[in-house]
Amino acid sequence: MPIEIAMDGHVAVLTLACPKGNAMSNAFIAALNEALDRVEADAATRAVVLIGKGRAFGAGLDLKESHGFDEKAQAAFVEAFDTLFARMFAFPKPVVAAINGHAIAGGCVMACAADWRVMAAGDFMIALTEVPLGIPFPVGALECARHAIPREHWNTCILEGRKLAPFDALKLGLVSRVVDGGELLKVAKARAHELAELPAGSFARTKLDLRDEGLARIRERATESRANFVRHWFGPDASERRAAMVAQLGAKGG
């Protein structure tokens, strides 16, 4: 299975082990939804840790797959990944993101959807690169980012899409801790166990209440924002930048 599930007491550790650095393809979305279905339905699971393998937590959208989509296929794709982000944003159990490596675009959004973020030290980058790529955020992705990032750093992180090294991300409040890579999973699991001790029902209800404005915006703006994403995706700015990135990936054998 491209997403491995291992139990540590009441904590489920989901290891993202999908191709291309966990690039978000239709297959990745289906696999993560299936894993979330399993841990959500399991009463013995009280908290979740998300961690990647290798040097990537999440590489963002699978550009080589989606670059060939027509408008209908792209509309279905944005609905699928933005619905996943919205689901993670409202997930009833505590989620800890153990950011083991690069977290770019959709990978960063996945981390933002979590309740707590810890990142490994190293030559890794975390960034929301949607605007520099020429595409607006679909609303599910934007609400994850809006909730996770302190308001005073929205311009830097969301509008400018600045790429941040781990300790820079810590300074801006995008992550809560930076630790040595060898300690990452240990720290993430310890925090997840702390959160797992909280009463499950009151945690889930209060989490929804804290995010109710964002969830309302997701419900109200999903159709419009996803259509805007598709329109810009096929616009000249995004098409040119995307083609250049796909060519670069092809040259690297990615």
CATH number, residue 96: 3.90.226.10
Domain range for 130: 3-196
pLDDT, tens digit, 9 for 90 and up, residues 7-29:
999 999 999 998 888 999 999 99
Joined tokens for residue 125: 């980058």
Q: What is the pLDDT of residue 252?
A: 67
Residue 250 lies inside a defined structural domain of this protein: no
Residue 239 lies inside a defined structural domain of this protein: no
Please state, rounded to an integer, the average pLDDT across all residues of the chain. 95
Q: What is the pLDDT of residue 22?
A: 93
Strand locations in the chain (E): 3-8, 11-16, 47-52, 56-58, 95-99, 102-104, 116-120, 126-127, 177-179
Residue 12 lies inside a defined structural domain of this protein: yes
pTM equals 0.95
Residue 214 lies inside a defined structural domain of this protein: no
Distance of CA 216 to the CA centre of its chain: 20
Q: What is the pLDDT of residue 254?
A: 58
Between CA 84 and CA 223 the distance in angstroms is 15
Residue with tokens 């499950």: 200
Q: Above pLDDT 70, what percent of the chain?
A: 97
130 is catalytic: yes
Q: What is the pLDDT of residue 251?
A: 65
Q: What is the pLDDT of residue 21?
A: 87
Total domains in the chain come to: 1
Burial of 184 (0-12, 13-18, 19+ CB in 10 A): buried
Residue 251 lies inside a defined structural domain of this protein: no
Residue 222 lies inside a defined structural domain of this protein: no
- Tell me the helix, strand and coil percentages in the chain, rounded to 5: 55, 15, 25
As a residue count, the chain comes to 254
Residue 165 lies inside a defined structural domain of this protein: yes
- Which one of 4, 34, 130, 197 is the catalytic residue? 130
pLDDT, tens digit, 9 for 90 and up, residues 118-148:
999 999 999 999 999 999 999 999 999 999 9
Q: Which residues in the chain land under pLDDT 50? A: none
Residue 227 lies inside a defined structural domain of this protein: no
Between CA 29 and CA 58 the distance in angstroms is 12
* 104 touches 52 (CB < 8 A): no
Q: What is the pLDDT of residue 116?
A: 98
